[in-house]
C-alpha cells in the first residue's frame, strides 16, 4: 500500500518559491533515506466526518503556507526549493474497514508481531511510507499527506505525514491543536454556528533557521571550525553502539513505548527539579546505563556514547518566532560521555545535563549547526564511514523540553482517545530517538528505532531496563 512520490506535479512559475536553507537542505537529503518522516497519529472513538475534516485541513494549510508547499529538487543545481500554491490541494486518503484489515494482516505476517495494538501498527506503517524516497531530476512532491484508517465500526485512526524540513516537533504539536479546534469549529459551522474559521490567523512563509540566528551567535574562527570538524570526525570512530542485529536488510522505523504512572512521574520530575536539571538529562542517563548494561560488560569497563539534544530555538531567534510558527527551527548539540557499570543515575544525569547546558551557554547550538549538518550529509553519502554502515551517529537523541499535554473537553467532543507524534530514524540518526510527553501528569515516551538493525525484542528489553532504572 506504499504511496508513490507525486512526480507529475509541475511547479507554477507565477507563485512564491524559496530555496531550502542549509538545515532544511540537510533534512531534504536525510528524508529519502528514511529519517525525518514526521507522523501524527490520532486514535478516534468515532469515524470522522471526512468533508468536515477535509475542510479543516485545507484551512489549516492555507493559514500555514509552508505546509501546503511542493518540494522541488533540481539535479542540475543539486538544490531543493519550496513552491507555495495559492490554495491547498490536499486530499485525504481514506482506507475503509477491509483495506485497513488487509494492511494490518500484512504488517502482522511480515513482522511476527505480538501484543501490538492496531493503532501502534498504523503509526509504524505511516512512518515507513516514504513519498520522498526518489529524488530524480526535477522531482516534485507535496510535503503534507493525510489518511484515515477504519479499525472497526466505531474506532478509526487519522494520520498526518509531514516532511520534517517544514515541520519540527513544536510545529507538529501546533498543527494537532489547531486541527482539533478547526474540526470542532467546522462541525459547529455545519450546524449553523457561524463562520469562525475565517478568523484563523495566516502565518507568513518563514526563512530557514540560519536567517534568524542572532548576530554574532554563530561566529566561529576558521581554524576553530576546522579543529571542531576533525574532533567530531575522530570522536565518532570511538563511539560505542548498541549491538546491531541485522545491518544488511532493508530498514524501517518501529516504536516502543516508555510509560510511567503519575506517582513515578512526579518522583522523577521532583528529583530533576531539586537537582536543577531537566528531564532530558535523566532520560539520556537512563538510556546510557541501560545500553551499557545490555552488553554484559565488566563493571569497570568504560564505553563512550554520544547523545544528541534537540533545542526548539523559536524563542531565542531574531526576530523571536511564535511558538506555533511552522517550519523547522530546532538545533542540536552533540555531547559524548564515558559510562561504566555501576554509574549512579542522578550523578550521570547531572553530568549529561551540565555538559549540554554548558555547550548551549557557549552557543554551540548555533556555531556548530553547519558542522553537524555537513557531517550528517557526509554520513548519508558515505555510510561506510559509520560502524557496519549502520548510519548511526549517536546512541540516543532527546529533546531539551518535553511536550506537556492535558486531556480537555475538546478531546472528548472530538472523540480523541490517544495520539502519538514522532518521526522516522531508519536512515541517518540515533539508535533511539525519544519523543517525550507529559500527558495528564504521566510520562509517555515514543522511542523510535531502526529495524531490523535493532529488533523489537532487543528494544523492548532496553526500554524496559530504562523504566526499571527510572522507577527504582
CATH number at residue 167: 3.30.559.10
Q: Give residue 14's pLDDT band: very low, low, confident or very high (50, 70, 90).
A: very low
Please name the residue ranges forming H helices in 147-278.
169-190, 222-236, 262-275
Q: Establish if 345 belongs to a structural domain.
A: yes
Could you tell me if 114 and 36 lie in one domain?
A: yes
**β partners of residue 82:** 18, 71
pLDDT reading at 115 higher than 70? no
Q: Establish if 11 belongs to a structural domain.
A: no
Higher-confidence position of 470 and 6? 470
Ranges 59-68, 97-106, 158-167, 296-305: which has the least confidence: 296-305
Q: Report how far residue 6's alpha carbon sits from residue 164's, in angstroms, rounded to the nearest whole number.
A: 17
Q: Establish if 203 belongs to a structural domain.
A: yes
Q: Give residue 10's pLDDT band: very low, low, confident or very high (50, 70, 90).
A: very low
Residues 107 and 181 sit within 8 Å (Cβ to Cβ):
no
Could you tell me if 283 and 394 lie in one domain?
A: yes
Mean pLDDT for 140-152 is: 95
162, 184, 209 - which closes a domain: 209
Ranked by mean pLDDT, the top range of 114-123, 208-217, 227-236, 289-298 is 208-217
Could you tell me if 138 and 253 lie in one domain?
A: no
| Nine-digit cell string for 190 | 455545519
Three-state SS at 50: helix
Q: Establish if 5 belongs to a structural domain.
A: no
Q: Establish if 2 belongs to a structural domain.
A: no
Tally of domains in the chain: 2
Give residue 69's domain range. Answer: 16-209
Could you tell me if 241 and 177 lie in one domain?
A: no
Helix (H) or strand (E) holding 380: helix 369-381
Q: For residue 159, report the phi and psi dihedrals to the nearest 5 degrees.
A: -120, 140
| Nine-digit cell string for 317 | 531567534
| DSSP letters for 397-451 | EEESS-EEE---HHHHHHTEEEEEEEEEESSSEEEEEEEEEEETTEEEEEEEEEE
Could you tell me if 237 and 114 lie in one domain?
A: no
Could you tell me if 199 and 260 lie in one domain?
A: no
Q: Establish if 121 belongs to a structural domain.
A: yes
Lookup result for grid cell 479543516: 56
192, 209, 226 - which closes a domain: 209
Could you tell me if 153 and 67 lie in one domain?
A: yes
- Residues 308-354 pLDDT 10s: 999 999 999 999 999 999 999 999 999 999 999 888 999 999 999 99
Q: Establish if 7 belongs to a structural domain.
A: no
Could you tell me if 343 and 383 lie in one domain?
A: yes
Residues 206 and 84 sit within 8 Å (Cβ to Cβ):
no
Amino acid at each position: 500500500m506504499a504511496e508513490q512520490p507525486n512526480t507529475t506535479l509541475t511547479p507554477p512559475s507565477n507563485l512564491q518559491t524559496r530555496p531550502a536553507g542549509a538545515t532544511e537542505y540537510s533534512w531534504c537529503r536525510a528524508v529519502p533515506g528514511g529519517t525525518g518522516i514526521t507522523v501524527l497519529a490520532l486514535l478516534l472513538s468515532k469515524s470522522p466526518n471526512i468533508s468536515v475534516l477535509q475542510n479543516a485541513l485545507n484551512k489549516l494549510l492555507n493559514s500555514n503556507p509552508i505546509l501546503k508547499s511542493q518540494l522541488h529538487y533540481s539535479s542540475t543545481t543539486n538544490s531543493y526549493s519550496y513552491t507555495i500554491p495559492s490554495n491547498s490541494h490536499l486530499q485525504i486518503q481514506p482506507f475503509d474497514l477491509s483495506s485497513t484489515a488487509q494492511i494490518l494482516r500484512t504488517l502482522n505476517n511480515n513482522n511476527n508481531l505480538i501484543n501490538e495494538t492496531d493503532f501502534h501498527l498504523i503509526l509504524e506503517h505511516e512512518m515507513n511510507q516514504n513519498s520522498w524516497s526518489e529524488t530524480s531530476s526535477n522531482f516534485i512532491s507535496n510535503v503534507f499527506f493525510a489518511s484515515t484508517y477504519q479499525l472497526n465500526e466505531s474506532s478509526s485512526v487519522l494520520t498526518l505525514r509531514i516532511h520534517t524540513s517544514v515541520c519540527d516537533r513544536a510545529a507538529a504539536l501546533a498543527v494537532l491543536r489547531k486541527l482539533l479546534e478547526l474540526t470542532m469549529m467546522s462541525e459547529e459551522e455545519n450546524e449553523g454556528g457561524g463562520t469562525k474559521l475565517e478568523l484563523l490567523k495566516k502565518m507568513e512563509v518563514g526563512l530557514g533557521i540560519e536567517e534568524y540566528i542572532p548576530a554574532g551567535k554563530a561566529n566561529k574562527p576558521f581554524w576553530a571550525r576546522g579543529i571542531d570538524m576533525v574532533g567530531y570526525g575522530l570522536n565518532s570512530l570511538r563511539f560505542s553502539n548498541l549491538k546491531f542485529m541485522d545491518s544488511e536488510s532493508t530498514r524501517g522505523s518501529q516504536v516502543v513505548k516508555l510509560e510511567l504512572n503519575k506517582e513515578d512521574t512526579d518522583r522523577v520530575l521532583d528529583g530533576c527539579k531539586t537537582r536543577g536539571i531537566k528531564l532530558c538529562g535523566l532520560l539520556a542517563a537512563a538510556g546510557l546505563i541501560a545500553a551499557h548494561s545490555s552488553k554484559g560488560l565488566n563493571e569497570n569497563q568504560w564505553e563512550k556514547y554520544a547523545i544528541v539534544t534537540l533545542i526548539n530555538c523559536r524563542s531565542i531567534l531574531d526576530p523571536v518566532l511564535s511558538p506555533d510558527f511552522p517550519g523547522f527551527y530546532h538545533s542540536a548539540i552533540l555531547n559524548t560521555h564515558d559510562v561504566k557499570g555501576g554509574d549512579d543515575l542522578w550523578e550521570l544525569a547531572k553530568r549529561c545535563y551540565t555538559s549540554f547546558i554548558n555547550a548551549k551557554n557557549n552557543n554551540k547550538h548555533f556555531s556548530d549547526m553547519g558542522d553537524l549538518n555537513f557531517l550528517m550529509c557526509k554520513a548519508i553519502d558515505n555510510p561506510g564511514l559509520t560502524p557496519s554502515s549502520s548510519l548511526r551517529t549517536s546512541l540516543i537523541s532527546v529533546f531539551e523540553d518535553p511536550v506537556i499535554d492535558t486531556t480537555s473537553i475538546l478531546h472528548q467532543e472530538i472523540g480523541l482517545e490517544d495520539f502519538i507524534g514522532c518521526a522516522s530514524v531508519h536512515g541517518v540518526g540515533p539508535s533511539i530517538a525519544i519523543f517525550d510527553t507529559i500527558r495528564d501528569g504521566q510520562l509517555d515516551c515514543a522511542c523510535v528505532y531502526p529495524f531490523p538493525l535493532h529488533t523489537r525484542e532487543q528494544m523492548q528489553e532496553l526500554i524496559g531496563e530504562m523504566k526499571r532504572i527510572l522507577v527504582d
